[in-house]
Amino acid sequence: MSAHRVVHRSRLPAGEPTSRPARPGGAVSTAAEKARQAPENGRVAARGRGLTKTYGGGEATVVALDDVDVDIAEGRFTAVMGPSGSGKSTLMHCLAGLDTVTRGQVWVGGTEITGLGDRALTKLRRDEIGFVFQSFNLLPTLTARENITLPMDIAGRRPDPQWLETVIDTLRLRDRLGHRPSQLSGGQQQRVACARALASRPRLVFADEPTGNLDSRSGLELLRFLRRAVDELGQTVVMVTHDPRAAAHSDLVLFLADGRIVDEMPDPSAEAVLERMKRFEPTRQS
Ligand SMILES: Nc1ncnc2c1ncn2[C@@H]1O[C@H](COP(=O)(O)OP(=O)(O)OP(=O)(O)O)[C@@H](O)[C@H]1O
């Protein structure tokens, strides 16, 4: 679908994990994994081992994640798909340090975040991770530009001006920078939210249904921008989506079912993803 397979990474920091660990068992050690575009430098941006997340207790226990091993390759675009309730958002939130796991370990870059105190975790999220959610979470009293730079302003950091301009232009926000969210369309608000997530050039961008509230043109532009952020700027993107066409912009699709990674697809096409998703239909709840 998108011509994006050449990856240039000129911005890789030193000192990160240098090899992918052995992965005993589980979907991530299948033949498909060998076909996956393993990063030449072997770096992982985020890693989960034995991730288990349960809610409730006794007979009412819900297992949202069931012993998941996962590596998110640095400088790649990973999509996460699966039926409703399969654990996609939970996986993303646990990898991003927005939620805690019941068992297991999570690393972001070289830092194990499981067990980190609130303060250290907040700092790591602020410095290393950008979030794009379906709900835009913009502050209504601030202009688009102020919303975009707010996280950096709070952190007392100055955006790289050139990068910020690139983000603003690519997301076609230049003539909207002085507008407040109520004066923007849904698509424009989502683009502001995306610009905010990318403004600090975070190592890792997590996007939860980022195109869910967008018309198809705005959605396509957002996906192309995320693709560019990966190909041209070496960023790492993890996107939860229900849309096979959106997933086709990624390098690798991870398929979840019942809290486990049950399959993965490198270099996905929308058609192949749709076909794979159809195999979940009998157990689908929505
Ligand atoms: N706070 C919670 N309390 C109890 N159960 C929860 C909670 N959050 C999630 N769950 C359950 O955990 C499971 C996984 O939820 P999750 O939101 O990760 O799924 P999902 O794949 O992202 O779903 P969807 O595609 O519908 O957004 C579901 O069965 C859900 O009902």
Q: Where are the domains of the chain?
A: 74-97+117-279
Residues 65-76 pLDDT 10s: 999 999 999 999
Q: Is the Cβ–Cβ distance between 188 and 176 less than 8 Å? A: yes
Average pLDDT over residues 91-114: 93
Average pLDDT over residues 241-254: 96
- What's residue 12's pLDDT? 29
- What's residue 221's pLDDT? 82
* pLDDT-based confidence at residue 184 (cuts at 50, 70, 90): very high
Q: What is the CA radius of gyration of the chain?
A: 18
DSSP string, 215-262: -HHHHHHHHHHHHHHHHTT--EEEEE-S-HHHHTTSSEEEEEETTEEE
Q: When comparing pLDDT for 163 and 21, which is higher?
A: 163
Tell me how far the alpha carbon of residue 87 is from its chain's centroid. Answer: 14
* pLDDT-based confidence at residue 42 (cuts at 50, 70, 90): low
- What's residue 282's pLDDT? 63
pLDDT higher than 90, residue 24: no
pLDDT higher than 60, residue 225: yes
ipTM for the predicted complex comes to: 0.97
Ligand 1 pocket check for 62: Cβ under 6 Å: yes
Give, using CA atoms, the residue closest to atom 2 of ligand 1: 55
Dist. CA 69–CA 115, nearest whole Å: 18
Ligand 1 pocket check for 145: Cβ under 6 Å: no
Ligand 1 atom with least separation from CA of 90? 18
What's the pTM value of the predicted model, to 2 decimals?
Answer: 0.81
Topology of the domain comprising 74-97+117-279: Rossmann fold (3.40.50)
Among 65, 86, 243, 258, which is best to mutate for testing ligand 1, by the most ligand atoms less than 8 A from CB? 86
* pLDDT-based confidence at residue 284 (cuts at 50, 70, 90): very low
Ligand 1 atom with least separation from CA of 92? 18
Q: When comparing pLDDT for 163 and 247, which is higher?
A: 247
- What's residue 272's pLDDT? 97
- What's residue 133's pLDDT? 81
H runs (alpha helix) in 79-160? 88-95, 118-128, 144-155
- What's residue 45's pLDDT? 94
Helix or strand holding residue 160 (H, E): none
- What's residue 135's pLDDT? 77
Ligand 1 atom with least separation from CA of 87? 18
- What's residue 41's pLDDT? 52
- What's residue 256's pLDDT? 97
Burial of 273 (0-12, 13-18, 19+ CB in 10 A): buried
